[in-house]
Amino acid sequence: MDKTALAVAVGVAMMAALPLVLRDDYLLSLGINLLQFATLATAWAMFSGPTRYVSLATTAFYGIGAYAVAVLGELLPWPLVLVAALGVGSLIALLVGLATLRLSGVYFVVFTFGLAELVKQLVGWYEVNVTKTSGRYVFLDIPQVAIYWQLLALLALALAAGWLIRRSRLGLALRVIGEDETAGRHLGIPTTRVKVLLFMLSAGFMTLVGAVIAPRWTYIDPAIVFNANVSFQVLIMALLGGPAHWLGPLAGVIPLMALFEFLSVNFPNHFPVLLGATFLVIVFLVPGGVVALRWRWPRRQIRSGVRSAKVLR
């Protein structure tokens, strides 16, 4: 394990002890929000960072996880609820990936945005026409500190997955795909299979975040859990930190969490406009993310990876 990974492991251990030391409800709530977006941004960058496929489907899988808990929470033990949510999210990601990951560029962006809206509308139609309700209550006796620790565990797993993938043949294949997908196919890399696998892994983490956070709301409806702002916030956080590095999204979460909290409280009617302005500023000023200023993704390493990609055949 390198020094950076060791430092991250120590940081995670220290964060696990914080609720026992601070015992402050506001700080605990702040920590839950921070961990939620840190995990979502890390999961987003796991797939979109190396492949450069910009996905806006975060809120679709996030909402699927929350609704799985609303439906199954009182029928199954909590661990089985999480497993079921993960299974549903992964299955949908598999179907979506097989159908769409041959797309690229703006077509993929538009499709993933449309996917999130489609899932929202389908769930809303089902609730109104079948269950005759507009939402669901989530009555589960899961304390806030347990939600905090579960989100921290998910973040640790997402970071570990990103660290391992970056050092594996799969990570090399992803970087080759991001640099030149056509060349990767000619070199024998199963590009569609690689992309679908990572898309499922990324979506699985997003689904679990939605499932873990659901008991905190008590009441959910499609407008709450399929909020498009979640996808854009996660995207902006990952881009600010730097999606090319496995630690990049973490660097963007803390400052933007503070900014979004300030904007939503003081300018609630103008939040979407200010969110868009923030996105433009980040893309213009730090296109590679702040982490790229310290850890620049070595392009020569990618080129050498293309030349040595025969190991992936």
State residue 297's pLDDT score.
44
Say yes or no to pLDDT of 17 above 60.
yes
Band of pLDDT at residue 288, cut at 50, 70 and 90: low
Say yes or no to pLDDT of 300 above 60.
no
Residue 108 tokens, joined: 């993929």
Running DSSP on this structure, what letter comes out for residue 131?
Answer: I
Say which range, 14-28, 29-43, 52-66, 148-162, has the weakest mean pLDDT: 14-28
Pick from 158, 180, 60, 67: nearest CA to 116: 60
Determine the average pLDDT of the residues in 22-41.
88
Determine the average pLDDT of the residues in 139-160.
92
The percentage of the chain sitting over the pLDDT mark of 70, rounded to a whole number, equals 91
Give CA 220 to chain center in angstroms.
Answer: 20
Residue 75 tokens, joined: 């029928």
Q: Is the separation of the CB atoms in 82 and 208 below 8 Å?
A: yes
State residue 37's pLDDT score.
94
Band of pLDDT at residue 287, cut at 50, 70 and 90: low
